Structure 1
């Protein structure tokens, strides 16, 4: 989602043909942050009562847990791609941007990988990932707390920088020595302190209670991730922002698709769903979860079987790294503008408190 400020008019309605519409509820979005106290309680109970069972048995990284990848991360990226390509008018509208970005990705990560060190590419993607996640969350709430641009971007960049160090500390921890890991904790902790101080100083710009709740929920999103990282609950540290981010995205996708297709299906996917009497609100989640499962579980082996048969060779992780990596980068890119005020997507989005 973009960081575009939502006007008072937009809070009640957008350019949607009739009153029988869904809206994005800010209360529902705020409710997603309940994962923060839940994960913190799990960590505390694990230390107090369960003798560290969760810490020792949860994967040290969600990347090691296929079920986690099937539920979080990949499905909402696939859903974003389906939403874009299943609506031909969107493809035509953004065609030039999509072509140019595809060329840029191939150049940077295809040709560039021959010359650029792997860790440099990894940190670049990590930074883009963290920026995408946190800008979405801060941007969605921007219409409520209505911060000046300089305040918004101060909080955003403090959050992103702290989040990036935590991300590196989790996903590259096996390649870091003890001193490097301690430096990462020190730097990210200092940035978290700066984030708290900045939020306290800038809170005076927020005039509504709901705005304050959203502002501090996003601050706590970063702080809780840092705390769980320091406590070595790496799985929970990634789960917190991942669940909030993905669920927020799905709320927007489902509202968009319902408002666009509930009167008259506008593409083949929803026409087929109507013939099968499937509720509109489950079509995109169902398709994206199913496709994510197939690609994650069987994509690489299927491609290898084909390339082995025809060419006598295998392509390592052609789907899980190649295709899904490409879709992820395109997702980060397109989500920066497809949900902005005035975009075709926003015609089918309404907001409510």
Structure 2
């Protein structure tokens, strides 16, 4: 099995579809869709179950279920766990919540867009300076778009306007940069990927400016998550398709569950259980045993930890020469 570049490119079809939806809603339905959608994806349990958290759970499961990967990265995993506990756990007693939130927001945007630019790098073949210029302009514009979306209720009108202006300026700079950098792309597929990543940021910024906050987050989230799953599934099929090599895939093979669906099914199921019942179950146990409760112990604490570990590990587990990369092939170039 191979990761198809053409399939990954097709995911960006969500961009024109979302723009068409916005224009149709504005022109024909007096913004009825905008009024019906939640102002933030975090207000919509189904969105949390379908996007964001599942692929985070999946990536952690992929590492945790393979003893050779744990052995290879044990030092890094322990060190990062300690850092998260100290900085985001103990540090939360001293560092203002908004500062921690902004750090997490910046890391989230960087992770999402770094993945997309990293995938495109293989076909765009930009010079290093051009690649990093595109990446950091995208990330910078994305950060201000993200802040404008998720903090719009806590920003003063003047602050919200300034955030939008900065996002628009950075997005415009990204477009100019893309015009300049496109001449370094040696093939048509790379050109498509270059502009697809740019238009993903442009569309998110535009949709955010029109206050379709849900769609502004949905576009990059869908592209990012399905791209990630394409790597996970390819890895699992190539490693366990002929002969299951760990307990999880031996168990699912005995149940005649194909390797391609094991991680998606398990990650979606665990995400639903954690989001829907995790906090209540933990607080029930804590209340029963210690007469105390912890605010969002699972949906903020555990899932937050898994997310930060995911951001960290994805930066190196799929690089050339890594144990996981041995099972990844590409097609459609």
User: Hey, what's the Cα distance between the residues in 2 that align with 1:263 and 1:278?
Assistant: 13
The partner residue of 1:86 within 46, 56, 65 is 65
Aligned CA RMSD, in angstroms, stands at 0.5
Separation in structure 2 between the aligned mates of residue 154 and residue 216 of structure 1, nearest angstrom: 14
1:239 lines up with 2:207 in the alignment: no
For residues 192 and 81 of structure 2, what CA distance do their matches in structure 1 show? 38
Q: Structure 2: how far apart are the matches of 1:155 and 1:80?
A: 26
1:33 to 5, 8, 12: 12
Name 2:147's counterpart in structure 1: 168
Which of the residues 32, 35, 55 maps onto 1:56? 35
Per-residue deviation, 1:202? 1.0
Displacement of 1:229 after TM fit?
Answer: 0.3
Who is 2:93 aligned against? 114
State the aligned residue count: 332
Aligned to 1:320: 299
Does residue 1:145 correspond to 2:120, yes or no?
no
Structure number with the bigger relative contact order (C-alpha 8 A, sep ≥ 6) is 1
Give 2:266's aligned residue.
287
Instruction: Indicate which of 188, 191, 197 corresponds to 1:218.
Output: 197
Once the 2 structures are TM-superposed, how far is the Cα of residue 281 of structure 1 from its aligned partner?
0.9
Deviation by residue 1:11-54 (Cα, 9 ceiling, x = unmatched): xxxxxxxxxxx000000000000000110011011011122111
Structure 1 residue 311 displacement after superposition: 0.2
**Deviation by residue 1:211-235 (Cα, 9 ceiling, x = unmatched):** 0000000000100000000000000
User: What's the offset of the Cα at 1:317?
Assistant: 0.5
Runs of 4+ displaced beyond 4 Å: none
2:20 aligned with 1:73: no
**What is the alpha-carbon distance in structure 1 between the residues aligned to residue 319 and residue 8 of structure 2?**
18
Unaligned runs of 5+ in 2: none
Deviation for aligned residue 1:195: 0.3
* Residue of structure 2 in register with 1:12 after alignment: none
Give the one of 138, 160, 163 matched to 1:159: 138
What does residue 193 of structure 1 align with?
172
Instruction: Describe the SS at the equivalent of 1:278.
Output: coil
Is structure 2 residue 327 aligned with structure 1 residue 348? yes
Distance across 2 between alignment mates of 1:227 and 1:106: 37
Q: Distance in 1 between matches of 2:179 and 2:30?
A: 36
Shift of 1:243: 0.2
TM-score (norm 1): 0.93
Distance 1:221 1:268 in 2: 39
1:101-153 per-residue CA deviation (whole Å, 9 max, x = no partner) reads 00000111111111111111100000000000000001001010101111111
Describe how 1:256-335 pairs up with structure 2 within 5 A: 256-335=235-314
> With structure 2 as the length reference, what TM-score do the two structures score?
0.99
Could you list the runs of 5+ residues in structure 1 that have no partner in the other structure? 1-21
Q: Which residue in 1 is equivalent to 2:162? A: 183
Counterparts of residues 245-260 of structure 1 (less than 5 Å) = 245-260=224-239
Does 113-122 or 216-225 show the bigger shift?
113-122
CA distance in 2, matches of 1:198, 1:88: 44
Name the structure 2 match of 1:44: 23
Residue number in structure 2 paired with 1:203: 182
Structure 1 residue 82 displacement after superposition: 0.5
Deviation at 1:315, TM superposition (A): 1.0
Give the whole-Å Cα distance in 2 for the aligned partners of 1:94 and 1:280: 24
